[in-house]
Chains A and B, each alone.
Chain A
Amino acid sequence: MNAVEIKGLSKNFGPKQAVCSLDMIVPMGAIYGFIGENGSGKSTTEKMICGLIPKNAGSIRLYGRDNTDPDVRAKLGVLIESPGCFPNLSVFENLMLEATNLSIPDAEREVVKVLKMVRMEGAASNKYKNCSLGMKQRVGIAMALLGTPTLLVLDEPLNGLDADGMRIMREVFCDIIKDGTRSIIVSSHLLGELQKVATHYGIIRHGKMICEMTAAELDASCRTYVALNVKEPNRAKLILASKYSRVEEDEAGYIRVYDLTTPEEIVKFLYEHGVTVSEVMSDKIGLEEYYIDLMKEGR
């Protein structure tokens, strides 16, 4: 059984098709990185999963049940766009309200626990409206974590978080999926951060799922490259282009050769053509570059 199974999901806003026959599978125990450009339909899909907007077509099943089932919906944690808090109430009171909403028996203890998890116990008495952006985001995550939800749907949860906040979130996410039944859907533009925790990926463009893969599959798909620092980059590029099919200069001025080859072979080849190499390294492209490449291909 999968945590989320979506088939043929569509949503129109007037004449604009926001989501178009989208299929998506989030396995149990997965941290599903949901990636796409602005306006690609990520938030709309997440809102439909949570039942916040009606769908035009398709089916959404959560843990084998329809997403309108009140029992399964009661175990959803959500942070979409911004945390839903009352500005004039304190952080603690906002969380207590949500605990009441979730019928949590020992609400106060649970609230203290989630506040500790997001390192906000010191700001519990602060009015929500007086919190900084990062603090608000932490409150939103704490709210989503209340009542040990089976499925967490987080839209840009890392926005506004500092480095420590992001590290804490990574730890929290990994802790949640430990038992293998709870799952997380995270959409974020901070692909480097996402890559550190995601076990699965879904890439959406213009409302269509263009690619779904596991972290291992992504790793296998990410090409290796050899990066070179040379004194005459333009000449070196011309020489390398005569032998290798893909040679590019990156933002830092390094020349990248993407063909399957070894650094020794390239250095030797350049040396034979009178180009001195001062630095050489071999690396793999990350999720960010993989994603950018994928988007370029589609254009």
Chain B
Amino acid sequence: MMDTQVKFEKFNRSKRLRSMVKLDLRRALRSRTFYIILACALLVPVVMTVMLCMMDGQESVNQQTGEITIMHGPESVWQSIGTLPSTESSESAAMGQMDVMAMCNINMAFMGVAVFVCLFISEDFRSGYAKNLFTVRAKKVDYVLSKTLVGFICGALMLILYFIGSLISGAICSLPFELVGDMTVASVALCMLSKICLMLVFVPIFVLASVAAKQRAWLSICLSLGGGMLLFMMVGLITPLNATLINLVICLVGGTLFATGLGAISATVLKKSSLV
């Protein structure tokens, strides 16, 4: 055979990552799950708020004790985003009273992202596309970074759509848009930005669970929700409606640390395990 020198094009990290992100975004934009998750993010606050407003003032009687409970609807449009600072309570206290709005608010988006990331990654392995992907991509960290970024984008979009959905539902139910207590427009914006940054804490957890579970989507969803559950509680506390710059910095630093640490673990899991 002839002894010819073969030249290979140099692929630096940014070029590799760019094409990987482009591929994942292209895939996400063509997947039904992506649109269903985003539609849910937009519709859930509308349905929830309208339902709770309709139930406002209704009495329910406990058949055994005879105790009468009066249902309270939302008092402000901002309750879909977080617990109002002027109310007696921190979110945990509200949860103790089974305040539906405190439990089922925008923070549910974090669970929605878990489902999206798990289905998105497991599909790579289930379809066998992982073989093509990892054959031409020797660096597993590219894969992890790309999935984290796409998960983060999806999460950010969900939060934004949930926010829009909350405003729409508030308008439908004629809820007050007034900012109460020490809430300002800036603090609401910082609250939203903090939540978006906090996605960087959650998405790497979901990515790690997914690369560990590979094609078993059910396992990755269970692991993600289980692992995430430990942190879901803190979302409300760390991103209140009266958030300051400190909240944003904490979320950003936490997100960066989690993304780096868990990203490295995910890449190691991929390196050490069979990808087919």
A residues bordering B, Cβ < 8 Å? 1, 27-30, 47, 50-54, 63, 65, 67-76, 78, 80-89, 93, 96-98, 100-103, 143, 150, 153, 180-181
Contacts and interface: CB of A to CB of B under 8 A. Distances in A.
A51 B23 contact: no
A36 to B, nearest CB: 18
B174 interface: no
Query: Sorted from nearest, which 8 A-B pairs have the closest CB atoms?
Result: A84-B128, A84-B129, A27-B1, A103-B19, A71-B8, A73-B138, A50-B135, A70-B138
A97 B129 CA distance: 10
A28 B2 CA distance: 7
Given A54-B271, A74-B136, A83 B1 contact: no
Nearest to A69: B138
20 contacts: A51-B134, A52-B275, A69-B138, A73-B136, A74-B136, A75-B9, A76-B136, A80-B276, A84-B132, A85-B127, A97-B27, A97-B129, A100-B19, A100-B22, A102-B19, A102-B136, A103-B15, A103-B18, A180-B4, A181-B4
B135 A51 contact: yes
Contacts of A143: 132
A100 B26 contact: yes
A63 B275 contact: no
B132 A86 contact: no
Contacts of B18: 103
B1 A98 contact: no
What does DSSP make chain A's interface, helix, strand, loop or mixed? Answer: loop
A88 B6 contact: no
A73 B10 CA distance: 11
Contacts of A63: 6, 8
Given A82-B128, A86-B123, A53 B23 contact: no
Given A74-B11, A78-B135, 15 more contacts: A28-B2, A30-B1, A51-B134, A52-B131, A52-B274, A52-B275, A54-B273, A71-B9, A73-B137, A78-B131, A82-B128, A86-B127, A103-B15, A143-B132, A153-B135
Contacts of B216: none
Interface in B17-31: 18-20, 22-23, 26-27, 30-31
A47 B276 CA distance: 8
Contacts of B129: 84-86, 97
Residue with the greatest number of chain A CB neighbours at <10 A, chosen from B5, B11, B18, B136: B136
Contacts of A150: 6, 8
